[in-house]
Amino acid sequence: MIDAQNRFSNQQALTATAISNVIDLGPLGGATPNTIRDIGAGTPLYLFVKVDEQLDSAAEGASLTATLESDDDVGLGSATVHWSSGSIAEAALNSGTWIAKGVPIPAADYQRYLGMRYTVAGENFTSGKISAWLSNNRFDERTYESGFTTGVN
């Protein structure tokens, strides 16, 4: 299950550098408001980023870097990068490809607004879609041999 409040992108069309939906972690009150948040304290959070539709460009020369960022500005204008995929060549951005598959988000001082930035380099994509979200459930993919009984049946 994916919580809609923790979803950055839902099959977001991606052609040029873009910012996802931004999650507002909420204001921190008090006489001297704290400006940082320790999200996931006590319960780890995991990042998922998946290519829903192959990212394609005209000359096959594009690349993508996905970053998880936070900022005190909703536009993520001077954001702090908390996680980065590194540059991924277009040839590796096929439909169904996981860019982040249950990656634990790093412990850090997060600011109020949290989002994903998709940085396109080389040339713009002409088509493609991506999804990204946070979850408190890690991804656990286990493959069992044919006829194996898990004891849950």
Is 120 domain-assigned?
yes
Length of the chain: 153
Q: How confident is the model at residue 55, as a pLDDT?
A: 97
For the chain, the domain total comes to 1
How far is residue 20's CA from residue 131's CA, in Å, rounded to a whole number?
Answer: 9
Examine the pLDDT at 152 and tell me if it is beyond 60.
no
Task: Specify the higher pLDDT residue, 126 or 25.
Answer: 126
What secondary structure letter does DSSP report for 120? E
What secondary structure letter does DSSP report for 39? T
Is 73 domain-assigned?
yes
In this prediction, residue 31 has a pLDDT band, given cuts at 50, 70 and 90, of low
Is 69 domain-assigned?
yes
Could you report the per-residue pLDDT of 45-104, keeping only the tens digit for each? 999 999 999 999 999 999 999 999 999 999 999 999 999 999 999 999 999 999 999 999
Cα–Cα distances in angstroms (integers) from residue 78 to residues 38, 92, 117, in the given order: 19, 29, 12
How far is residue 146's CA from residue 57's CA, in Å, rounded to a whole number?
Answer: 40
Is 125 domain-assigned?
yes
Is 122 domain-assigned?
yes
Is 92 domain-assigned?
yes
Is residue 75 a contact partner of residue 19, using CB atoms and an 8 Å limit?
yes
CATH number of the domain bearing residue 68 = 2.60.120.1110
Among 117, 54, 115, 114, residue whose Cα is nearest residue 89: 54
* Domain ranges, residue 113: 4-24+43-135
Is 10 domain-assigned?
yes
Is 16 domain-assigned?
yes
Q: How confident is the model at residue 61, as a pLDDT?
A: 94
Could you report the per-residue pLDDT of 133-143, keeping only the tens digit for each? 999 887 766 66
Q: How confident is the model at residue 153, as a pLDDT?
A: 47
